[in-house]
Amino acid sequence: MSVLRGARVLVVENDDMNAMLLDLQLVQAGAVVMGPVGKVHDALQLISADAPDLAVLDYRLGNGETSEPVARLLSKRGIPFVLATGVAIGSIPSGFERGVILTKPYLSEDLVGALFRARESRGAKS
């Protein structure tokens, strides 16, 4: 599966096991993984230094942080993203509406499909 061939995907996930699984799923789909990072500050630095083509965000990060600031910056820059979260959809604050929401648990195909939809909804070129 090379649907994401060459796409640079930022992964913002604080759980090491989930981050490793995301990395594996994305690499198998042909993506180049940026990160993973588990802190807002690190994600914002990566985006500012070398903007990704796409991003996968977990909502709740460590130490009470959420990925809201990351989603805002991605939206501002027109970078498509997927919010992969176990948080109930009704509990997700505004600011994530520009992304595609993927509820955990999910399959690799679901992740790739969500990234494809996010990219297509932003008119990004494959």
pLDDT of residue 78: 94
Task: Give the pLDDT confidence score for residue 126 in this predicted structure.
Answer: 42
Q: Per the domain annotation, does 72 fall within a domain?
A: yes
Q: How far is CA 124 from CA 30, 36, 54, 60, in A?
A: 17, 22, 10, 27
- What CATH number is given to the structural domain containing 55? 3.40.50.2300
Residue with more model confidence, 93 or 69? 69
For residue 1, pLDDT over 60 is answered with: no
Residue 3 lies in a domain: no
Residue 78 contacts residue 92 (beta carbons within 8 Å): no
pTM: 0.91
Q: pLDDT band at 2, cuts 50/70/90? A: low
Three-state helix/strand/coil letters over 5-37 = CCCEEEEECCCHHHHHHHHHHHHHCCCEEEEEE
What domain range includes position 27?
Answer: 8-121
Other beta carbons within 10 angstroms of residue 95's beta carbon come to 16
CB count in 10 Å sphere of residue 42 = 15
Q: For 10-66, what is each residue's pLDDT tens digit?
A: 999 999 999 999 999 999 999 999 999 999 999 999 999 999 999 999 999 989 999
Using the predicted structure, report yes or no on whether residue 9 has a pLDDT greater than 90. Answer: yes
Query: How many domains does the chain divide into?
Result: 1
Q: Which residue has the higher pLDDT, 34 or 89?
A: 34
Side-chain-side CA neighbours of 100 within 13 Å: the count stands at 21
Letter for the amino acid at 11? V
What pLDDT, on the 0 to 100 scale, is given for residue 125? 44
The answer to whether residue 1 is domain-embedded is no
